[in-house]
């Protein structure tokens, strides 16, 4: 599972990254977690309001810190997809997978 947190370094961006790291640790999931701060890279995802969260290339959130329950859902879906052999099963996405 590849997760990117998009944002230029504001408090909400840092809080989003920390929340994802914390929930991943609690669930025993080890995603590839990247912070994207370059505004051109962020704009490439169509994000107008940060922080944004991209999972496996698909925008799943933008604007404000996501609720913990949503992060848990993303990580559970990712863990299930990995166990089932799928790349993004159960992840809400705006782009086509793969």
CB 77 within 8 A of CB 92: no
Q: Using N-to-C axis directions, what is the helix angle for 11-27 and 68-84, rounded to 10°?
A: 50
- In which region does residue 67 sit, left (phi positive, over 0), alpha (psi from -120 to 50) or beta (all else)? beta
- The pLDDT of residue 94 is 40
**Complete domains list, the chain, with CATH:** 2-84 (3.40.30.10)
- The pLDDT of residue 2 is 96
End-to-end CA distance of the chain: 13
Structure tokens given for 55: 């999972």
Tens-digit pLDDT profile for residues 33-89? 999 999 999 999 999 899 999 999 999 999 999 999 999 999 998 665 543 334 444
- The pLDDT of residue 77 is 82
């Amino acid at each position: 599972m590849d997760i990117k947190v998009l944002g230029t370094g504001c408090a909400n961006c840092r809080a989003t990254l920390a929340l994802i790291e914390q929930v991943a640790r609690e669930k025993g999931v080890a995603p590839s977690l990247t912070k994207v701060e370059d505004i051109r890279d962020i704009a490439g995802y169509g994000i107008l309001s940060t922080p944004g969260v991209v999972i496996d290339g698909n925008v799943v959130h933008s604007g404000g810190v996501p609720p913990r329950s949503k992060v848990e859902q993303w990580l559970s879906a990712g863990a299930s997809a990995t166990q089932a052999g799928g790349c993004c099963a159960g992840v809400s996405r705006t782009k086509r997978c793969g």
